[in-house]
Structure 1
């Protein structure tokens, strides 16, 4: 993973010689942790995909595109990153050096992680435009521009990280006994390492922090004005805080240790302790599960749609069980079930009106 520290080959050999049984015992525990985390991420994002592939009340078409992109990137943690690294950790011996497979796996790790960060940044940018420029939203965030932003988030990281995939490139790759992944040795090329940090982590962090902070401040001012006029609803007081604050807190908690360890390793050439490396390597993957909670499960419309999808699945798979649970009377009309045509015209207007009301309250 491009943002993680690595243990050198000599460190791996020495650790194995000093305690030959220790690595095997630790590996079983680490594999169990990685597997459990992968299952949580996969199940959470599959549930999200079942819902947002169809229309959800209050979500515009562009928002669904961005959220689908985020869900796909998060799903890649459990469906691609973790299986690949577990396979490599089971196939390779601790004393084996780097090979072509390790370079490919390291490239996949770096690409998925970078795509996730870029996708989070594009979501923050889209919400910033929706709140502060609601009247120009349809002009600024057209379907074409939305797809272009998503394409950039998925295509730019592979282009930027391509040197990692070549065995004889400027970046060396070693299999890490501590984190059970193939880690790039960024200490061999400090300039390239710092360039990756400057082009991926810091730009995404700046965009997310600026956009979410502005939206949170705007929501706070609106809430104070509504409270002053006695028209604020108690149940809606902390909507912005319940979403924006946890999103940013989870982002920095999961990603900052990785970046700090990577910069420390590249600049000093030293490594971090075994379990510290394991935690900072795999901590960002937990962001793929936390995104399911902060972006989806705390949304009332999403939960209602999820219950409806479960009921429909139960009715299709086992009609008798669904009938016993009282699900046989589910409405199938488009407006009662929440399914609308592909144009999502009603939801688009609803989102536009909501953004316009926000603008008027801030004026």
Structure 2
């Protein structure tokens, strides 16, 4: 996604290029502000998630917490690594400068964290699928060793695939993009390698997530129809499966598909998309690090209750007067959980799976 100026162009074309560069320079503060706000949102959201899942949450097994911690780590890297690295490069890099070693390193970290996030989402969908469709075999299928192996694979396999990007004068070129303010590989310089990456990262993860969540969605629909036929459910019961599974997949494809399409387009045609479209498709996957906090954690009722409890304790510790004014009170009584709800929560790993089992519950998710 890098465009070099043709020195043999006419004077009018050179004037147009100069105007374009001035426009890019004018847009740079706006883009830096957007990136900074996005990084802050991702960091704060995942700090809250880490606070909760580092302690015990009702209904979340040990394996589930491992997978969710892995997802939180990948999402946190968006705010703690991706955003600061690219902001530093965008502030220090001049438009006239070409590729360098720093750009290769930054591009390697960008691609690695993006890929790790996709692999982690795929492993969560796989674990969720096994938890619902093979509950009696779950302990034997998802042992602690296999869980850690899947997590290690999600973190170690992407660097192995993407390590050629980190070498200057390697198999693919890397340039600083004036539109997206990141160091992007020039995918057209090695079409075979680019298509290989998409076939080994994006498409397998998308297939696993789509198949697993579709099976879960159809199972929830069949269960809902069956319960209606037996008059076990209320007619006004919300369609919780669609309320959770559909947004999860919609957000995934909305965040990742445009970026992958732009990569394939650049690799095949050698052209890049317009300025703001490039900025959007490059940074849109990063926003998935914040949206995951909502769809994989905040929708879960156990997570919300535990967060409120920790927030009250924190307020009472740091600002007791303010906490009292806000109505926060210390309570030594343990949280009482409904037995039916506890069983339903334990049957799954994350909120979107819990809803498949809680269709008979009187209290919506």
TM-score by length of 2: 0.88
Q: State the Cα deviation string for residues 50-100 of structure 1 (Å, max 9, x = none).
A: 111111112222111111111111111111101101100110100101100
- Contact kept in structure 1, 2:74 and 2:116, CA below 8 Å: yes
- 8 A contact 2:313–2:330 mirrored in 1: no
Structure 1 residue 234: deviation in Å? 6.2
Structure 1 outlier segments of 4+, above 4 Å: 11-16, 233-236, 346-350, 352-356
> 1:229 Cα shift?
1.2
Find out whether 1:182 has 2:177 as its counterpart.
no
SS of 2:132's equivalent? helix
| SS class of match (2:201) | helix
Distance in 2 separating the partners of 1:297 and 1:353: 16
Cα displacement (A) at 1:41: 1.2
Match of 1:298 in 2: 299
In 2, Cα distance between the equivalents of 1:126 and 1:299? Answer: 17
Deviation at 1:248, TM superposition (A): 0.3
Partner in structure 1 of residue 346 of structure 2: 351
Match of 2:5 in 1: 10
Measured in 1, the distance between the counterparts of 2:182 and 2:85 equals 9
Instruction: Determine helix, strand or coil for the equivalent of 1:161.
Output: helix
Q: Following TM superposition, by how much is the alpha carbon of 1:323 offset from its aligned partner in structure 2, in angstroms?
A: 3.3
Distance (Å, rounded) in 2 between the aligned partners of 1:322 and 1:121: 40
Which stretch shows the higher mean deviation, 12-21 or 260-269? 12-21
Residues 256 and 336 (structure 1 numbering): CA distance in 2 closer, same or farther, change over 3 Å? same
Kindly state the Cα deviation for residue 326 of structure 1 after the two structures are TM-superposed.
3.7
Task: Work out whether residues 61 and 348 of structure 1, in 8 Å CA contact, stay in contact via their aligned partners in 2.
Answer: no
Unpaired runs of 5+ in structure 1? 1-5, 339-345
Q: Does the residue aligned with 2:335 lie in a helix, a strand or coil?
A: helix
Give the 3-state SS of the residue equivalent to 1:135 in structure 2: coil
Q: CA–CA distance in 1 between the matches of 2:188 and 2:68? A: 35
Q: Secondary structure at the match of 2:175?
A: strand
TM-score (norm 1): 0.89
Distance between the aligned counterparts of 1:277 and 1:30, measured in 2?
12
1:336 equivalenced with 2:335 (yes/no) = yes
| Structure 1 residues 350 and 280: alpha-carbon distance in aligned structure 2, compared to 1, 3 A threshold | closer
Preserved contact between residue 60 and residue 348 of structure 1 (Cα < 8 Å): no
Aligned equivalents of 1:163 and 1:190: distance in 2? 14
1:205 paired residue number: 206
CA distance, structure 2, for counterparts of residue 263 and residue 29 of structure 1: 27
Given the superposition, is the C-alpha separation of residues 348 and 83 from structure 1 closer, same or farther in structure 2, using an over 3 Å criterion?
Answer: farther
Unaligned residue ranges in structure 2 (runs of 5+): 8-12, 360-365
Matching of residues 27-42 of structure 1 within 5 Å:
27-42=28-43
SS at match of 1:120: helix
Cα distance change of structure 1 residues 259 and 199 upon mapping to structure 2, 3 Å threshold: same
Is the 2:42–2:76 contact (alpha carbons within 8 Å) kept by the matching residues of 1? yes
Which residue of 1 is the match for residue 144 of structure 2?
A: 143
Aligned residues: 346
Counterparts of 2:50 and 2:345 in 1: how far apart (Å)? Answer: 22
Could you report, residue by residue, the CA deviation over 1:101-130 in whole angstroms, capped at 9, with x for unpaired residues? 000000000000000000000000000000
Tell me, what secondary structure is at the counterpart of 2:232?
Answer: coil
- Quote the Cα distance in structure 2 between the aligned partners of 1:353 and 1:287: 22
Give the C-alpha shift of residue 236 in structure 1.
5.7
Q: 265-274 or 155-164: which moved more?
A: 265-274
User: Structure 1 residues 236 and 122 mapped into 2: Cα distance closer, same or farther (>3 Å)?
Assistant: farther
Separation in 1, partners of 2:330, 2:42: 33
Distance 2:83 2:166 in 1: 18
Over residues 124-157 of structure 1, what are the superposed CA-to-partner deviations in whole Å (9 max), with x where a residue is unaligned?
A: 0000000000000000001111111011000100
Aligned to 1:343: none
The match for 1:272 is 273
151-160 or 234-243: bigger deviation: 234-243
Taking a change above 3 Å as real, the CA distance of residues 301 and 188 of structure 1, as seen in their structure-2 partners, is: same
Is this contact kept in 2: 1:194–1:263, CA < 8 A?
A: yes
Per-residue deviation at 1:186? 1.3
Q: Partner residue of 2:165? A: 164
- CA separation of 1:151 and 1:236: change in aligned 2, threshold 3 A: farther
1:241 corresponding residue in structure 2: 242
CA, structure 1 residues 353+31, in 2 after alignment: closer, same or farther (shift >3 Å)?
A: closer
The aligned residue for residue 76 of structure 2 is: 75
